[in-house]
Amino acid sequence: MPVTVVVGAQWGDEGKAKVIDLLARDHSVVARYQGGHNAGHTVVVGQEKYALQLIPSGVLYPDVTPVIGNGVVVDLVTLFDEIDRLEARGVSCSRLKVSSQSHLIFPWHQALDALAEDQRGEGRIGTTLKGIGPAYADKANRNGIRAGEVLDPVAFAESIRRQALAHNHTLAAAGVPTVDVDAVVDRYTVLGRRLAPYVANTIDFLHDAVAAGEHVLLEGAQATFLDLDHGTYPYVTSSNPTAGGASAGSGLGPRLLDRIVGITKAYTTRVGAGPFPTELYGELGDRLVDIGQEFGTVTGRRRRPGWIDCVMLRHAVRVNSLTELALTKLDVLDTFDEVKICTGYRIDGDEYQGYPDRIDLLDRVEPVYETIEGWTTSLAECRRPDELPLAARRFVETVEREVGVPVRIIGVGAERDAVVEWDSGLVAP
């Protein structure tokens, strides 16, 4: 079983980092395959809390090699800030490898991200303003600058100058401030020199690791419903977080991916705009946000809350070939007298099969709910399935039955060990 993939099954912030940190104990390599510093991944170890954006969540284990794969877009300022902060806390990042084929984010990408959001007006996506979309657009337009270019500082400086001038035309035409070309060239020449020792052929590295029988974990950022193809377009990110993206963004072919873990909260959240059929407004939603501390790690924005949605999760199973689910934050529901599980959709009064492929359909969805009695007791100390109250077990079994793949891990707290390993005997079809 060489390669495990962890993907978000909802709209992000499902607790991927915590599950990756848990699984990393049995893996020697953890590699990011898409996205960039729009991700905010939190790992809690005892009293210590680590908020990661670019560095893979396996970094906390000294014998795990963290890899930034070819599919990632890398902001060098954030990368070194993160390395410095981790090293100041005694976490060594010297093992980090950054793919020579990953693309770099520059200040004009951030400026263009903000400009695009302004131009969208009421239709704005609510991006993280990190320059992710414009950096991937440059990659697709074949104008991007790859990490490997830093190995030739003279050519790197020329590339930066050329791209800065080209993007300044766009910014000037829109009447927004341009970037200071000389200052960017100077700053990124220094950052490039610092990056050089980390640059590697990560595709060869990952294949060699697999060939040597080592266990590799591919860490997804964002989530299935933020996927450029499978998400609620245009309210999505600009990469493919789904399992197919794990292959493309790491260079490990699809046949090597054999365990694909979808992460879902016991409810749902979404940051930014876009359809959300099971969204909760009012007091119930506020309680989920308060208890679950649903504020973005990166932007501090309040996350929109809602009930768990098994229609989404069934779709996530299909597009990712999920072999199992990890169900996080079950403890957040501890004080609710009853909890709801969305089991189906109705559109214009009719039952709808599958996941709507158009945003106008999603806007008209009426969720069909199954209501489960709450357990109204704390799950914080539970570590074994038989320690979970009956109502909580019924909740997990209902999700498994509705989604059709086994739940293997249940989260009952933010801390590293606050999990219940679950095995109902169900196997993925």
Site of interaction with ligand GDP (CB under 6 A)? 8, 12-18, 40-42, 44, 297, 328-329, 331-332, 411-414
Give the footprint of Mg ion on residues 27-56 (CB under 5 A): 40
- By a kind-dependent CB cut-off of 5 to 8 A, residue 127 interacts, out of ligand IMO, Mg ion, ligand GDP, none, with ligand IMO
Given the residues 41, 109, 167, 315, the one annotated as active site = 41
According to the binding rule CB under 6 A, does residue 13 interact with ligand IMO?
yes
Residue 14 in contact with Mg ion, rule: CB under 5 A: no
Is 13 among the catalytic positions?
A: yes
Helices 76-88 and 181-195: angle between axes, nearest 10 degrees:
50
Choices 21-29, 38-46, 333-341, 408-416 (CB under 6 A): range interacting with ligand IMO: 38-46
Q: Which is nearer to ligand IMO, 122 or 283 (CB)?
A: 122
Q: Is 337 a catalytic residue?
A: no
Q: In the complex, what is the shortest distance from the CB of residue 84 to ligand IMO, in angstroms, rounded to a whole number?
A: 21
Tokens 């990560």 locate to 202
Q: Say which entry of ligand IMO, ligand GDP, Mg ion, none residue 331 contacts (CB below 5 to 8 A, set by partner kind).
A: ligand GDP
Residue type, 101: Q
Reported for 226-230, long-range contacts at CB under 8 A and 24+ positions apart, including other chains, are 226/8, 226/11, 226/12, 227/319, 230/315, 230/319
Name residues whose C-beta falls within 8 Å of residue 171's C-beta, 6 or more positions apart in sequence: 108, 111, 112, 115, 177, 178, 179
Q: Where are the beta strands (DSSP E) in 336-406?
A: 338-347, 350-352, 365-373
Which range, of 92-100, 217-225, 255-263, 397-405, touches ligand IMO by CB under 6 A?
217-225
Residue nearest to ligand GDP (CB): 411
Neighbour-count burial of 47, counting CB atoms closer than 10 A to its CB (0-12 exposed, 13-18 middle, 19+ buried): exposed
Q: Which of 7, 31, 40, 44 binds ligand IMO (CB under 6 A)?
A: 40
How open is the CA angle 165-170-176, to the nearest 5 degrees? Answer: 105
| Two structure tokens written together for 304 | 């929109």
328 contacts ligand IMO (rule: CB under 6 A): no
Nearer to ligand GDP, 327 or 362 (CB): 327
* Cα(131)–Cα(141) distance, integer angstroms: 15
Tokens 């414009």 map to which residue? 134
Q: Residue 132 touches which of Mg ion, ligand GDP, ligand IMO, none (CB < 5 to 8 A by kind)?
A: ligand IMO
Name the burial class of residue 263, with classes exposed (0-12), middle (13-18) and buried (19+) by CB atoms within 10 angstroms of its CB. buried
Residue nearer to ligand GDP on the CB measure, 149 or 331: 331
Contact 65, 97 (CB under 8 A): yes
* Among 222, 240, 242, 343, contact with ligand IMO (rule: CB under 6 A): 222
Q: Of the two residues 220 and 251, which places its CB atom closer to ligand GDP in the complex?
A: 220
Which 275-334 residues touch Mg ion, going by CB under 5 A? Answer: none
What is the rounded CA–CA span in Å between residue 149 and residue 164? 16
> Total residues at the site for ligand IMO (CB under 6 A)?
22
Q: Which residues are catalytic?
A: 13, 41
